[in-house]
Each structure stands twice: as structure tokens, then as C-alpha cells.
Amino acid sequence: MHLAVFGGTFDPPHNGHLALCLFARELLALDHWIISASNNPFKQKKAVLDAHRVAMAELFAAEIMLTGCSAEVSGWELEKQQPSYTVDFIRHLHALYPHDTLTLLVGEDSFADFPLWKEPECLMALCNVVVFRRVTAPHDHHKPGWQHAITTIDFACGISSTEVRARVFSGQSITHLVPQSIHHYIVENALYC
């Protein structure tokens, strides 16, 4: 089985995340999604509690499943109660799925810090790494010697979680930026206000 690993702060998940997942499914012949809300050591403090991010990740996984894909949410990274390192999570998944192929999906913004990640060479040995590059950005984040191990896919999407939070805070509509279930959750729990 070909497993897609898609982690992030998901603060909140948005339509760009969903479009990326569906695009990746078609391009990479993925069978199952593992969605992980994480505590990224390179990002600032989260805007909402971890419980809300996990709940929104669950809604996001449900949106993926509505398209006919198989998906699950892993709470392993947040259960550690400390900064999360992708290589540790991938090792954990290898123990759970020793005979399956793992492909890590990474946005270009996160990949810009890849040389600073914990054990990047080991990570590339444990899984495929696919970077989704914003088509308007320069294409120069690869550390010499890593190009052969990284697949880069151009992906045009202008949505960001930062934009979604800012729009909610200023009272603007986000109905076109997030799945309906996540919009309802944000409103119901008065998040980002």
C-alpha cells in the first residue's frame, strides 16, 4: 500500500490543503492518507488549542474520505507534548506499517527549512519526499546532493492558514477558503476571533 503522510499545524486546515491532497492522489497513486496535526518547532505558537486543531484535522480527513480516499488522523505527534520532528514520526509509522511505502508531502514554505530539520538524510532514506512548490516562488530550496531524493511538483494555491485566521479576526467571510465542516466548527467554537 502507498501511504501519504501529510502533517502540519492545521490552524486551520483549508481548501488549499484539500486541493493539494487530491492533486497528489492523482499524480502519485496514493492509497491511504495519514493526517497529523503537529507542533512544528519552526513555527510560532498555535492560535488555538491542540484539541481544536485535532478536531479540525478529523474534519479535514472526513473531507478527504468524501472524495473516495481512505484517511485517518494520527495524534502521535501531539501526544508527545513537545516539539515534533518529522523523522521520529516517520520512524513510528514504519513500525506500524513495515511493508508499505511512505510518501511525505511537504509544502514549499516548510521545505525551505529542510536543512535544519532533525536528521534530514535519514528522513529521505525512510520515505519519499514530495515538495509542493508555489509556482510564483523561486525554485532553489534544495541542498546540494539532495535533488535526486526529492520530487518537486508545482502547485498553484494562494490560500494560507494565516490568511484564514486574519479574515476571521476582521469579520470577513472564509466560506470560499475552507471546507464547510471546518467553517462550521470555527464559527461554532468562536475560533480566531
Using one digit for the tens of pLDDT, what is the confidence trace for 80-101?
877 779 999 999 999 999 999 9
Spatial CA neighbour of 6 closest among 116, 81, 110:
110
Write the pLDDT tens digit of every residue in 10-57.
999 999 999 999 999 999 999 999 999 988 766 667 789 999 999 999
- pTM to 2 decimal places: 0.90
Cβ pair 3, 30 in contact under 8 A: yes
- Give which of 162, 159, 165, 114 is closest to 140, Cα–Cα: 114
Q: How confident is the model at residue 108 (pLDDT cuts 50, 70, 90)?
A: confident
Task: Specify whether the CB–CB gap between 21 and 103 falls below 8 A.
Answer: no
- The number of beta carbons lying within 10 Å of the beta carbon of residue 77 is 22
pLDDT (0 to 100) of residue 10: 94
Determine the 3-state secondary structure of 18 from DSSP.
helix
Centroid of chain to Cα 112: 15
Beta-bridged to residue 150, according to DSSP, are 129
Phi-psi region of 60 (alpha: psi -120 to 50; beta: other; left: phi over 0): alpha
The predicted structure's pLDDT at residue 82: 78
Chain position carrying cell 519519499: 128
User: Domains (ranges, CATH) in the chain?
Assistant: 2-159 (3.40.50.620)
Distance of CA 37 to CAs 9, 113, 141, 142, 145, Å? 5, 18, 24, 25, 30
Comparing CA positions, the residue from 155, 193, 163 lying closest to residue 12 is 163
pLDDT band at 150 (very low <50, low <70, confident <90, very high): confident
Q: Are 71 and 32 in contact (CB under 8 A)?
A: yes
What pLDDT score does 144 carry? 46
Q: How far is CA 12 from the centre of its chain?
A: 11
